[in-house]
Amino acid sequence: MVPSFDIFRDPRDKEPVWIEAAAIMDDAIVGVRRLGALHSGEYFIQSKQTGVEVSMTVQRTESAAPKPSGCSEPLTVRHSPAVIPGR
């Protein structure tokens, strides 16, 4: 299956950094939680088809295993162009 979602780290005052791609949204969310278990921060998932972004703030946990409680809710959905640089 062709990846439909891109995962980015969104450092403050810097350009977003592409991390990896996922085929489905559920896999992308698990990927962000896995990354956040190691490195707290702001992440977002962008649909390659629609440009819709889902923002997630993730706090580092004691275990590197992804845990649903490691993600603060609610998720923020924002619309943006499919082009990331200079957004």
pLDDT score of 79: 46
Structure letter (DSSP) for residue 48: T
**How many residues are listed for the chain in this entry?**
87
Mean pLDDT, 10 residues at a time, the chain of 87 residues? 90 91 95 90 94 90 50 48 46
pTM over 0.85: no
Laid out side by side, the sheet with 76-79 consists of: 17-22, 5-9, 41-47, 52-58, 76-79
Which H helix or E strand runs over 86?
A: none
